[in-house]
Chain A
Amino acid sequence: KAGVTQTPRYLIKTRGQQVTLSCSPISGHRSVSWYQQTPGQGLQFLFEYFSETQRNKGNFPGRFSGRQFSNSRSEMNVSTLELGDSALYLCASSRLAGDGELFFGEGSRLTVL
């Protein structure tokens, strides 16, 4: 079956703009979580959604937000982009939360100029 799909794969924005990233989980998966990967900070948890509710949130400013739809697809939004937001944003899905089988997509690589 299809894996976790993230769109777009690559995008370039300028400071001050906003961006929306999309994630389609594996069919039947209801938990979607987001991570940011940078060379300096490594992999950091952003937030997790389950059945359209945010269940966990990482230590990121309010410019980072997300949501989950009834079909389990998720979007994350970053407003007022800063240079430091340049990163690989990874989405992961699992059937339930904490069931061990957490699969990641290929990521969306954001460059902020």
Chain B
Amino acid sequence: GEDVEQSLFLSVREGDSSVINCTYTDSSSTYLYWYKQEPGAGLQLLTYIFSNMDMKQDQRLTVLLNKKDKHLSLRIADTQTGDSAIYFCAEAPGGYNKLIFGAGTRLAVHP
């Protein structure tokens, strides 16, 4: 069945790197997404990766995709207090906009 799993909580020190992990189940997913949600707000698209890529880098963000293990990770370099939020991983089975989301990882950044 369709399921996306993420760890629920991550705590890091300001200036360190954060790595948020995700596993998904549907190999037909064309795109895999990372979204950020701050309290009381909607979802902000951070980045996405096409399924034929292994890595994508965008400024402080690095996405790694292991298709064999259906594992996706998001690395945030030089984590700042403004990065504190909930991060959602999502897959898009069949290449449509019917996204399957994980439960979200709450990132807490402390001094």
Interface of A toward B, CB cutoff 8 Å: 4, 6, 31, 33, 35, 42-45, 48, 55-56, 58, 90, 92, 94, 97-98, 100-107
List 8 A–B pairs whose Cβ atoms lie within 8 Å, in order of A's numbering: A45-B100, A48-B97, A55-B96, A56-B96, A56-B98, A90-B43, A100-B31, A102-B45
1/0 per position for B62-106, CB-CB distance to A under 8 A?
Answer: 000000000000000000000000001010101111111111100
Chain A interface, >50% SS class? strand
Interface of B toward A, CB cutoff 8 Å: 30-31, 33, 35, 41-45, 48, 50, 88, 90, 92, 94-104
Pick from B42, B95, B96: contact of A106, CB under 8 Å: B42
Min CB distance B88 to A, Å, is 7
Pick from B97, B101, B104: contact of A97, CB under 8 Å: B97
On whether the beta carbons of B97 and A33 are closer than 8 Å, the reply is yes
**A-B pairs with the 5 shortest C-beta distances?**
A98-B95, A43-B101, A104-B43, A106-B42, A56-B98
Interfacial chain B residues near A107, Cβ < 8 Å:
41-42
Min CB distance A109 to B, Å, is 8
Min CB distance B44 to A, Å, is 7
Pick from A6, A35, A92, A100: contact of B48, CB under 8 Å: A100
On whether the beta carbons of B45 and A103 are closer than 8 Å, the reply is yes
Given contact pairs A102-B33, A104-B35, A97 touches B50 in the complex (Cβ within 8 A) = no
Given contact pairs A104-B44, A106-B42, A43 touches B88 in the complex (Cβ within 8 A) = yes
